[in-house]
Structure 1
């Protein structure tokens, strides 16, 4: 099992190209099921998750051509050979569940395993299913599978989400584009990735208004066409590298980004005393490492608030801040799993329920730590970049799920970081 070794203390200087957004790319892959025509998706990030989604799509009958390192995926599924997404291909990644809506919309029925480790109600998929039921689908959960049928086709519906859910908003939108009539999604999520997915669907011929607001209106169409579409830049990757530079000091230009999607993070970095300059498609992060970072409190919120997917990274930065910062996690439960591992590096963190108190220390010390999930794992990279001595991070397959060429991008800017293949 691979590990990542980091020797801390080096500033970061240079340029980092930001890859396509994982959270958008996975849903665009699912959207390719909605058309019988060829599709081309560019700026596709080379990740364990996006490669794994290809395996599921091929199981359903899709032909996928995606040369390694090209960033260009060609898909074609003139006929869906299977409407069954088995447990072995869904249990590893929640996003694979999003084939249910497109299969249901195009074929009128689908059988999809519940996501691995998912109990209905925790990161709930029940909101997805209630949206489909509102559109006329019959839903049965049996033996760990969702069996959905709308043999006469999905019908437009008025769906009011009881709370903001990115996944449910995306999934309902993917199904509603081929439904008969008008669908209105209220209390919809407003994330940039939802706008990206809507823009792709509109280019395919869907009729969608209001994406990026709390009310999305969809007029169903009978079919969608194949197109060439470019995935939006990954704001979470960009925010992660911004936190890396803020922690180490130096000056790095993040290229191929959309700065407006990162307003909450950039404001927090400015409050922390980090230099931030933005242009149309770049963000420059600059910090004198001799000037202490200021403590900043964080409350995670749905977009445009501070993203839960950047909470761990900002906590990694705050471990060396001058003062005390308070983190309130308002989106997901159990999202402070990185705190005990950061403490192994010398961080002073106290967790009480959905609140973490971080008292900045002058110096972290390298240690052996373990990645616990995708976003938590990269907070350990940030801490390792500033820790004295060597930090060895295990279970880095979590990192590979969401970050493309992480070690290469950091080492090109001066970090001492390397992957140790097959390390015990």
Structure 2
């Protein structure tokens, strides 16, 4: 079974220990980043486990450093008491060290089983902002730490983080272009397709349980839909010609894609079972790469109807077409933010591509990447982060960044060519 049943059988449901309702907005004076410290995990009972402690710290450090609002610092406090609850450790020592936020954790290991307790503190007010307890196996430890990282973002902003989500992507690890999955930080890579052909343009269903992608495994570039838990696969398109850049609608029941069955590439809407519902564009131009607005009312797409590829927006019924991008001679690969406020796209510049972000009304056009050639930007489910592929290191690899272009971090591992990332909903 792929994905270990999405980890639904990993840890038991977390127990909320904080008793909080709503969330607390904690900010640092001025414009400085909040100083966050991750205390060394404590063995609450029995012997210490160095591997468990190291994993907890490593995952928290990656998540919180990438998150944006925090500056993660090395612990500067030598604790004489290493408890994790208020009264069990010296909070003033952390405050005197300049810490704003403190993550405390403790664990109990019994064979392969581990019970972990996490707590987040506002050091200045000595208030507990979040607390959870999990029980499960060591192999699921990274996911559990990511889960509490999501809780930290919820406590600080009111919106959960995307740190338990996955990236689907295309890799040449086998010598062919196959679809893979990995954690957002590049860990736990899993191969999805095994057909020895060319597989491209993966996209998640809104519930995260299915992927669609284009495959040449039977010669023609056809669209397939795959259930991730069982591996069951269905061919969505039967028409000859290209069937590419499929994108699930927000309702999960429809798919927009580009098909060339009638001569040139046009935008169509199908049911997810493959029944044609509508043809949206009708012209002599090439129309590809549809991207739904989060309310399902509009679709951004690429067309060369003016001579060079540009981004356009139309209603989900194909009406009211308008041009979005007016700068640059070659703009492709739009993707709408889950918040509906921005659209990313790629512009050809100096022999490569750079990622831009623009408001849906065409204002606020902003360049996000500058190093190397960068493509295929895709949003996280909370709209705060982007995954993309870049050739800045020579071979194409998957990177992540914040939505303003900061924090660009390579997450691909190994020497394969990795591309076409897409970020899953929360799992």
When the two structures are superposed, what TM-score results if normalisation uses the length of structure 1?
A: 0.29
Larger radius of gyration: 2
* Structure with the larger helix share: 1
When the two structures are superposed, what TM-score results if normalisation uses the length of structure 2?
A: 0.29
Instruction: Kindly indicate whether structure 1 or structure 2 has the higher relative contact order, using CA contacts under 8 Å at least 6 residues apart.
Output: 1
* Structure with the larger strand share: 2
